[in-house]
Structure 1
Amino acid sequence: MLDNAPRGTIVIEDIEIGMVRSLRKEVTDRDIELFAEVSTDRNPVHLDESYAQDTIFGGRIAHGMLTAGLISAVIGEQLPGHGTVYMGQSLKFLAPVRPGDVVLAEVEVIDIDYPKRRVRMETRCLVDGKKVLLGEATVLAPSGKFD
C-alpha cells in the first residue's frame, strides 16, 4: 500500500515555510527482505522471528534505514521533488517499525535560504499516530529560473 501522492517538483521560488508533504506505506515482509538484500544488512532481528523474539523488541522489526528511506521518497518525489539534492539528514529512532505497520512519512519546511536554494525540513515518521523517527534534512532545491 502506497499513497498516490502528487509527484513532481516544487521549485525554490515556490517553497514556503510550513509546507508539508507526506506518504503512507505499509512495511511488508517483502520490503524488509529486499532492503536486506540491497543493503547487505542481514541482521537476524530483521529476518529471523525466533531470533528476534529473544531481543528487546520481542519480534522482528524493519531496518531503521528502510523507514528513513520513506523520508527520502517524500523529499525526492514531492517536496521539493525531482531535481532535489540531499545535503544532510539527522535521524533519531524512537520506536521500532514492524512488518505490517503502516508508516506515515512527513516532511515540513522549517527554514529557507532562497539565494543559496537551501531548504531545511523537519522529518518524521509515525505509526498509528506515534512518532517512530524524528530528524532534520537539508536539501538543495531546484530552481525555476533559467539564467
Structure 2
Amino acid sequence: MRDNALRGTIVLEELEVGMTRHLCKDVTDRDIELFAEVSTDRNPVHLDDAYARDTIFAGRIAHGMLTAGLISAVIGEQLPGHGTVYLGQSLKFIGPVRPGDRVCAEVEVLSIDHGKRRVQLATRALVGGKPVLTGEATVLAPSAKFD
C-alpha cells in the first residue's frame, strides 16, 4: 500500500533545492516473488526460508533492486515526475528489507543545472526510520519550455 500519493510533474522551472517527495510501501512476499519472476533473480536468500536462515541475514530479504525501484517510482511519478529521464544512480545498501517491512523511499533535490536541465537528487530508503539504502541520482528534468 502506498501513501503520499502526490503524483504528476514538477517541471525544471519550478524545482527548488531542498524539495522532497516520498512514498511508503509494505513489501510483501508477493512483491518479492513477482520481482524474482520479472528480473529472473531467483537467489534463494529471497525465496527460500530454510536457505536464508543460514545466511548472514538469518532470514529472507527482499531484492535490493526492488527497494531501489521505489526510489525510481518517486523520481518518475513525483520529483521531478512524468517525463524525467534517468541519467545515473549510485546506490549503497546499508541494511536488509524483509517481507512485511514498510519501506519509505525519499528523494531530495540537491542541485539544479538549468542550462543542461540536469538535476542532482539525494536518494534514500528507510525501514522504521533507519536507512537501508542511500545514494544519488542524476536526472534530466522535464521543462515547460519543451512541452
TM-score after normalising by structure 1: 0.98
Write the mapping of 1:3-18 to structure 2, written as runs, cut at 5 A: 3-18=3-18
Mark the runs of 5 or more structure 1 residues left unpaired by the alignment: none
CA deviation vs aligned residue, 1:64-90 (integer Å, no higher than 9, x gap): 000000000000000000000000000
CA deviation vs aligned residue, 1:84-108 (integer Å, no higher than 9, x gap): 0000000000000000000000000
| Distance in 1 of aligned mates of 2:2 and 2:29 | 15
Alpha carbons of structure 1 residues 146 and 42: separation in structure 2 relative to 1, 3 Å: closer
Count of paired positions: 147
Mark the runs of 5 or more structure 2 residues left unpaired by the alignment: none
2:123 aligns with 123
Write the mapping of 1:21-100 to structure 2, written as runs, cut at 5 A: 21-100=21-100
Shift of 1:6: 1.1
Shift of 1:114: 0.6
Shift of 1:146: 4.0
| Distance in 2 of aligned mates of 1:59 and 1:120 | 35
2:145 aligns with 145
Alpha carbons of structure 1 residues 99 and 108: separation in structure 2 relative to 1, 3 Å: same
CA deviation vs aligned residue, 1:31-88 (integer Å, no higher than 9, x gap): 0000000000000000000000000000000000000000000000000000000000
| Distance in 2 of aligned mates of 1:85 and 1:43 | 30
Shift of 1:25: 0.3
- Percent identity, please: 79
TM-score after normalising by structure 2: 0.98
